[in-house]
Amino acid sequence: MVFSRNQHGWENTKGFTLQVLTGRWFMVFSSFMIMSVSGASYMFGLYSREIKSVLGYDQSTLTLLSFFKDLGSNIGILSGLLNEITPPWVVLTIGGLLNFFGYFMIWLAVTRKIPKPPIWNMCLYIFIGANSHCSTNTGALVTSVKNFPGSRGVVIGLLSGYLGLSGAIITQLYYAFYGNDSKSLILLMAWLPTAVTFVFMPVIKHHKRAEQPNDSKAFYNFLYMSLILAGFLMIMIIVQTCFNFTKSEYYVTSIVMLLLLILPLFVVIMEEQRIWKNKKEQINGEDSPPKPLNITTQMPQTHQSTGETTQNQNQNQNQNQNQKQVSSWRNILFPPSRGEDHTIFQAIFSLDMMTLFVATICGLGGTLTVVNNLSQIGLSLGYPAHSITTFVSLMAIWIYLGKVTQGVISEFIITKLKLPRPLMLTSILIFSCLGHLLIAFNVPNGLYVASIIIGFCFGANWPVLFSIISELFGLKYYSTLYNVGSIASPIGSYLLSVRVAGHLYDKEALKQMAALGLKRKPGEELNCNGSECYKLAFIIITAVSLLGALVSLTLVIRTREFYKGDIYKKFREEARNNENELVVTQNKVGPASNDDA
């Protein structure tokens, strides 16, 4: 008797553990873990000085390298198309391999273990390494959004937030593993994301489950835990820049950070325990009278005559042909209503997407210029190296806060106030202008404030962009459209960072050398000092950001009627249908077990 009771308890434990590991909540937790180490592209400011000094690059060459980094981290259309037809583990595997190869080759070049590569080789390496993030982000974020479509704003904000924190997380682990060797940071960026992706990759998959009313409550619990992690990282960054930590002290802070990182696992267990109890209650109540009736009414429908089945097949073929006709080239310029599933080309060539694309180019181009060149901006404006390290490290915190804040606030605005989500994009672009002007006119201590504003706006831009795309064009081809929207980032980076900021920086630096009677030698790094280095560039960037705000206002006007409706009604109805299907299936299986008994 005792043995059977213990055996029954062991079976329950094993069954519950299997449910946790294969459930959609552990899938979300695994996505958090993958995204928390997938932000190496945000850390360019920490190792760019090493590349510039070792390889002897000028600012234009360095900004060209950062452009290819941005290009790689945002050109993910191939991974999106691949994710449409394969399970998520395929793109995650590709992402892990690309990450290791790209950053490992950069580490070999910076440590001089291989001959100095040509600039096009370095651009290729950083493009490949950064492009891996498209695959990992597509596999993790898109899958989570499709599993929780009714909470997409919070889901995108949270996952993007962990991506924003990844720079600070990797930096803490870097100090614990390697000390203050900045070259080893590149090595850590090569192997750590690949290892984490391969560990959690098997559980990233699509789940056809009915969404529950308290799903949003669970995501808000995730949010509170991520805020605790962000607060801890911010305190540690400030303290570590004020005091010299030993390696053992870095071990302690890293262990605490990892414990806070896995804290959402408790929410996962609580949610799966609630689901487990509901299943037990359904099993205990499966002998109720209505269930056999459901079987007798359902069984005749499953055994149709041959004529009826062929007729149904013909109807399905006709429906498929109609769908192909709708998605033909002739109907690209005649898309369905907003919120319905668009084809890829219908979405790309729609006026809404083009408007969103232009506004995003204007916004992300300016903020990326600051994120990628923050170290050089600080040096040219005369900030001490100690302060530069501080606000470069804290940039990850501000990016995180922008992502999670906009994910939550914009969700509240569209569900409670019925205001268009593109209005948040307009406000972000206007707010970023303040940070650009602080840099342009070199306001005393203004770079501290500017880094907070720009980091917040850069982070906030992404969840708003991805949410708008999913809401206006549907989720059927979201894997691809998600990556189409990301292309705006490298275009803006090239126009404003490379062609404007980098060019004007080098022009002013050469002017300063000529005034001193100096001439630049081949392979010598080029530095500029003073407020004039970036002044004109950021005045231009401010004007472009204001233009983007005006463009986004047209999208606000075009979509105001759409957002006045219930944009999540469709997904709630689908969730109820899925739940009804699960009930019918349980009714079919339940009586069979009773007969066997």
The C-alpha atoms of residue 419 and residue 556 are separated, in whole angstroms, by 9
548 found inside a domain = yes
* Mean pLDDT estimate for the chain: 82
Residue 317, domain member (yes or no): no
Distances (CA, A) of 175 to 108, 182, 258, 448: 20, 9, 14, 24
Question: 390 versus 140: which is more confidently predicted?
Answer: 140
Nearest-angstrom CA–CA distance, 234 and 238:
6
pTM, full prediction:
0.77
Statement: residue 480 has pLDDT above 70? yes
Average pLDDT over residues 338-365: 92
Question: Does 178 map to a domain?
Answer: yes
* Res 555 pLDDT > 60: yes
Report, as an integer, the average pLDDT of 69-73. Answer: 86
Q: Measured in Å, how far apart are the chain's first and last C-alpha atoms?
A: 20
Question: At a CB cut-off of 8 Å and minimum separation 6, what does 74 contact?
Answer: 134, 483, 486, 487, 488, 489, 490
Q: What is the pLDDT of residue 570?
A: 65
In a domain, 7, yes or no: no
> Residue 8 domain-assigned?
no
Looking at residue 211, the DSSP 8-state letter turns out to be P
Domain count, the chain: 1
Predicted confidence (pLDDT) at residue 136 exceeds the cutoff of 50: yes
Closest CA to 138 of 69, 78, 97: 78
Position 498 confidence tier, pLDDT thresholds 50, 70, 90: confident
Confidence band (pLDDT; 50, 70, 90) for 374?
A: confident
Q: Out of 320-329, 384-393, 435-444, pick the least confident.
A: 320-329
Average pLDDT, stretch 105-133?
A: 91
d(CA 155, CA 159): 6
Does residue 258 form part of some domain? yes
* C-alpha torsion sign, points 59, 102, 484, 46: negative
Tell me whether residue 591 is in a domain: no
pLDDT at 452: 92
Rounded to the nearest 5 percent, the helix, strand and coil shares of the chain are: 80, 0, 20
DSSP assignments along 370-382, one per residue? HHHHHHHHHHHTT
Separation in Å, CA 224 to CA 219, 258, 401, 458, 565: 9, 16, 12, 21, 30
CATH number of the domain to which 124 belongs: 1.20.1250.20
Alpha carbon distance 70, 42 (integer Å)? 9
Q: Report if residue 550 sits inside a domain.
A: yes
Which range of residues forms the domain containing residue 161? 22-271+347-520+532-573
User: Which of 515, 383, 354 has the alpha carbon at shortest distance from 446?
Assistant: 383
The average pLDDT across 406-417 equals 80
CB distance 424 to 78 below 8 Å = no
